[in-house]
Amino acid sequence: MKIGVLALQGAFRAHADKLSELGADVVEVRRPSHLDAVDALVMPGGESTTMSMLLESSELFDPLAVRIDDGMAVFGTCAGLILLSTEIEDGRPDQRSFGRFDIAVQRNGYGRQIESFETELETTVTDDPVHAVFIRAPRIVRLGTDVEVLAESRGDAVLVRSGNALGASFHPELATDARIHRLFLDSVAS
């Protein structure tokens, strides 16, 4: 199995390194032709409006939307989660998303860069807490009925799953713990 990492902007190298450490065959996705070589995709954090524009200018948005609609497994973190949501409450009017998660998000929902934080999260999928790094993180403000909450912070869902899609408001690639990436790889393999 080949795991793609959207490599247009954001912390894509940290994701690629984490996945490689776990034994995944990683492909950096920058062009539509790169999508043909992957079985699943990680959409990293970064700046969601910039990523949305880069997806358009690279001509990746539409072919990626087709792959996601066809059921490709996907994992979005921070800005990636925003791009996978059905509703972006405070996005730009021209900002597109893939609608993979039936959720509404608020960009930078936990505050500005200076209000970034780290915490330990209890999850429904790990025995011990997971270290989570929140950097200008999105807040999930509405959950659809098909969205499973795997972890919460400050009363908000921050790790969610819907079918073969996984989403995190935080940056698991910036922690030493690889269990969230392992969870995604295990879902792709099954």
Give me the catalytic one of 89, 131, 148, 171.
171
Give me the catalytic one of 89, 115, 120, 173.
173
| Among candidate residues 129, 140, 2, 122, the one with its CA nearest the CA of residue 76 | 140
**Looking at 24-154, which runs of residues are DSSP E strands?**
25-29, 40-43, 73-77, 85-88, 101-106, 117-121, 130-134, 139-143, 148-153
pLDDT at position 70 is: 95
Whole-prediction pTM:
0.94
- Catalytic annotation present for 59: no
What pLDDT, in 10s, does the model give residues 79-104?
A: 999 999 999 987 777 778 999 999 99
What pLDDT, in 10s, does the model give residues 47-90?
A: 888 888 899 999 999 999 999 999 999 999 999 999 999 999 87
Give me the catalytic one of 15, 78, 131, 181.
78
What pLDDT, in 10s, does the model give residues 101-139?
A: 999 998 877 767 777 889 999 999 999 999 999 998 899
Residues in the chain: 190
Residues paired with residue 161 on neighbouring β-strands, in sequence order: 148, 166
Count of domains observed in the chain: 1
Q: Residue 42: which domain range?
A: 2-189
- Catalytic annotation present for 171: yes
- Catalytic annotation present for 78: yes
How many other C-beta atoms lie within 10 A of the C-beta of residue 67? 21
CATH number of the CATH domain containing 88: 3.40.50.880
Return the ∠ at Cα 168 (arms to 104 and 71), rounded to 5°.
75
